[in-house]
Amino acid sequence: MAKKKSDNGATATATADNQKADAARGDADLRKEFLRSMLLQRRFEERCAEAYALGKIGGFCHLYIGQEAVSTGTLSLLRPDDYIITTYRDHGQALARGMSPRAVMAELFGRKDGVSGGKGGSMHLFDKATNFLGGHGIVGGHVPIATGVGFAIKYRGGDQVCICFMGESVVNTGAFHEALNMAGLWKLPVVYIIENNRYGMGTALERASAIHDIYERGAAYNMPRAQCDGQDVFEVRRAVAEAIERARTEKVPTLLEIRTYRFMGHSMSDAVSGTYRSKAELEEHLKRDPIILLRAAMHDAGEIDDAWMAKLDEDIKKEVQDAWDFADQSPEPPLEALWEDVLVDTTSDDVEASKAAASA
Amino acid sequence: MPVITYRDALGQGLREEMQRDDRVFLMGEEVAVYQGAYKVSKGFLQEFGEMRVVDTPITELGFAGVGVGAAMVGLRPVIEFMTWNFALLAIDQVVNVAAKTLYMSGGQFKMPLVFRGPNGAALQLAAQHSQAWESWLAHIPGLKVVAPGTPYDAKGLIKAAVRDDNPVIVLEGEMLYNTKGEVPDEDYIVPIGKADLKREGDHCSIITHGKMVLVAMQVADTLAKEGINVDVVDLRTVRPMDVEAITASVRKTNRAVLLEEGWEIAGIGAQVVDYIQRECFDDLDAPVVRVHQADVPMPYAKSLEKAAKPDAAKTIAAVKKVMYID
């Protein structure tokens, strides 16, 4: 509802806020979907830790546990033709976007049936079918790419949006500054989401950034900005919905700081509490586990009971086991694949054919 | 056939490509209102409008990334670096994203974009503005790297670069923009990966690319007066390299001089030497000699700069050395 200039102005605003909050909460069926999405990510990541310990997943592996409300809340609001780009902590977002757990797990196992044929691995999940533009491994490097996607949307006169996830340590890179400046300058439909999980590897935000309410950096780019609680999926949806609406209809970018917490170490080589945070701090944050919070709210409202929850958990465990089995049975990539996809042998000599191929 | 400058040949090629494909746009510093720092895009803003000819802030990393993002979702960006010296700020986008995304994504995301701009030394611009980057860029799988030395090749290669579905690096010669040559008005392509035998001779092969092609042609003229006839092999593309053209020439002349603007260590010439020793070991009558920039940052003083740069005199001396003359 639009704000009305009348004596009832304050009331109208309050009503609009309530409506937004209601929309963010969705109905009971939608809330069950949120729970399902978040629990899938959680159980998937737990099995990744196990697979890593068994040597089935190699290299670097960064788990998303604790941050699931951010991915689920944000991606539940997207259209299929919207774009997502993210960092190397990308498993949860890939699943929340609807990528197949089988193909994601097979990618992590480095197998032929992985989303990228086993050539990207944990940090580089890509999926053209869902407009998932990667999994990028250099901190800050993907933020200008999101700006470029926003530029392309504007260039074509479309009404899609691009969601760019990043960790809070990205805000100290030059790439972040350059990318947000251009998006603010050119009014591009990008929602930049800082998943502030408090630590860039082991360095606390307060030890890395001159300001601590980092969404305020949006001021430097003339960009609407906001901060919200990332452990409450409804809060995430409320804040992101507003930013998406602004991008889609007004073509204005937003900088959102979503405050969350990483329950695991930075990567598999980092102990859960690490040397840089206390066990007490971690335990304090575990009390605000986004899955437990949503489950409790739905339980209290009588929308779910223990039996429903147990069934959901059992179903999800089966789904993740199925992904594991699929990945485990998928063959290694054939050796010829080593030489494939370095370059393509196509051109746009025939413009119409090239356009048709690009949109296929 | 019309005789035009290298600058106008590049502009003509780009303009033709922007006319034939509305997904192609030009982005960079001063490309629009200023009409191009080197005037390659003169008149473009007026013809194509501000959505397709885009001035950026001074932010190489940022706008290189914008090009990458736009290419990933179906546009065909031409990203201009005012010079390749400034592109070092953007090298993460070129190397880590543009070159690798097709591979990392298992073939899902093509990267049809061009990074272009002047490369190599001009006159007394000192160390930070006088560098030839081809060996850095040619090192990276997933990129194609071209370095046209003539107006004809400049137009044909820029057009081929725009049409290629891979990321293509176009290294233009800052000192070549004003040089002139015959350039057909019509639509033509110089294929990427094909060298050109610019001069034929039996005594020695000079293998080179980019701005040094001009030097090699002067050398060929001078030596011809002394009765020495050289092959001038213009690589035109340094990745992928036309090994067949190199070996065909060396098998004929049995002697090779490699001429490049860059530094010696891990330079383009080092790679050409490797191809020659692999393919022409028994054909050689003398060790290969390389001519390149002195292994120092470029000095400002005119006399020192001259001493640092590869030139005709140094190349002539190299040819005479491999021919055991003097």
CATH, residue B307: 3.40.50.920
- Backbone torsions φ then ψ of A132, nearest 5 degrees: -95, 105
Per-residue model confidence (pLDDT) at position A8: 61
Per-residue model confidence (pLDDT) at position B186: 94
Per-residue model confidence (pLDDT) at position A2: 43
Tell me the percentage of chain B whose pLDDT exceeds 70.
Answer: 100
Interface subset of B 156-215, CB within 8 angstroms of A: 160, 162-166, 189
Residue-wise pLDDT tens digits, B6-53: 999 999 999 999 999 999 999 999 999 999 999 999 999 999 999 999
Residues of chain A scoring pLDDT < 50? 1-5
Q: Which of B69, B160, B162 sits opposite A145 (nearest CB)?
A: B69
A226 forms bridges with which residues in the sheet? Answer: A256
Between CA A79 and CA B99 the distance in angstroms is 29
Looking at the fold, whether B177 and B203 belong to one and the same domain comes out as no
Considering the domain boundaries, does residue B188 fall inside one? Answer: no
For the record, the structure tokens of B254 come out as: 């049995």
Considering the domain boundaries, does residue B113 fall inside one? Answer: yes
CB A145 to CB B104 under 8 A?
no
Looking at the fold, whether B222 and B149 belong to one and the same domain comes out as no
pLDDT (mean) for B147-174: 97
How many angstroms away from the CA of B291 is the closest CA of chain A?
32
Per-residue model confidence (pLDDT) at position A3: 43
Eight-state DSSP code of residue B51: T
User: Please, which residues have CB within 8 angstroms of residue B151's CB and are 6 or more apart in sequence?
Assistant: B4, B5, B6, B8, B9, B179, B180, B181, B182, B183
Known catalytic residue at B139: no
Q: Is B289 helix (H, G, I), strand (E, B) or coil?
A: strand
Residue of chain B minimizing CA distance to A122? B104
Looking at the fold, whether B38 and B92 belong to one and the same domain comes out as yes
Is the pLDDT at B5 greater than 50? The verdict is yes
Nearest CA among B157, B163, B189 for reference residue B24 = B163
Between CA A312 and CA A298 the distance in angstroms is 14
Mutate to test the interface with A, among B19, B48, B72 (most CBs of A within 10 A): B72
Between CA A227 and CA B136 the distance in angstroms is 43
Is the pLDDT at B71 greater than 80? The verdict is yes
CB B72 to CB A133 under 8 A?
yes
Between CA A124 and CA A117 the distance in angstroms is 11
Between CA B35 and CA B25 the distance in angstroms is 15
Looking at the fold, whether B17 and B162 belong to one and the same domain comes out as yes
Considering the domain boundaries, does residue B41 fall inside one? Answer: yes
Element (H, E) at B71: helix B60-72
* CA A169-A174-A175 angle, 5° bins: 85
Between CA B237 and CA B214 the distance in angstroms is 16
Residue-wise pLDDT tens digits, B189-212: 999 999 999 999 999 999 999 999
Residue B64 belongs to a domain with what CATH number?
3.40.50.970
Considering the domain boundaries, does residue B139 fall inside one? Answer: yes
Per-residue model confidence (pLDDT) at position A5: 47
Domain membership of residue B47 as a residue range: 3-182
Looking at the fold, whether B20 and B168 belong to one and the same domain comes out as yes
Looking at the fold, whether B205 and B176 belong to one and the same domain comes out as no
Looking at the fold, whether B201 and B176 belong to one and the same domain comes out as no
Structural domains in chain B (count): 2
Interface subset of B 43-72, CB within 8 angstroms of A: 51, 56-57, 59, 61-72
Looking at the fold, whether B171 and B203 belong to one and the same domain comes out as no
Residue-wise pLDDT tens digits, B246-290: 999 999 999 999 999 999 999 999 999 999 999 999 999 999 999
For tokens 């019309």, the residue is B2
Q: How many CB pairs under 8 A join A and B?
A: 166
Within 8 A of B166 by CB-CB distance, chain A residues are 343-344
Q: Please, is A355 exposed, middle or buried when counting C-beta atoms within 10 Å of its C-beta (0-12, 13-18, 19+)?
A: middle
Known catalytic residue at B292: no
Is the pLDDT at B164 greater than 60? The verdict is yes
Q: Find out whether A328 and A56 touch, Cβ atoms under 8 Å.
A: yes
Residue-wise pLDDT tens digits, A164-190: 999 999 999 999 999 999 999 999 999
Q: Find out whether B135 and B171 touch, Cβ atoms under 8 Å.
A: no
Looking at the fold, whether B215 and B178 belong to one and the same domain comes out as no
Domain boundaries, chain A: 3-359
Dihedral over Cα of B33, B39, B45, B50: its sign? negative
User: Please, which residues have CB within 8 angstroms of residue B44's CB and are 6 or more apart in sequence?
Assistant: B11, B14, B15, B18, B26, B31, B32, B35, B36, B52, B53
For the record, the structure tokens of B187 come out as: 């639509």
Per-residue model confidence (pLDDT) at position A360: 75
CB B65 to CB A119 under 8 A?
no
Considering the domain boundaries, does residue B189 fall inside one? Answer: no
CB A344 to CB B102 under 8 A?
yes
Distances (CA, A) of B89 to A141, A253, B59, B62: 12, 25, 8, 9
- Backbone torsions φ then ψ of B242, nearest 5 degrees: -85, 85
Looking at the fold, whether B84 and B114 belong to one and the same domain comes out as yes
Looking at the fold, whether B238 and B155 belong to one and the same domain comes out as no
Looking at the fold, whether B42 and B174 belong to one and the same domain comes out as yes
Looking at the domain that runs over A3-359, which CATH code has it been given? Answer: 3.40.50.970
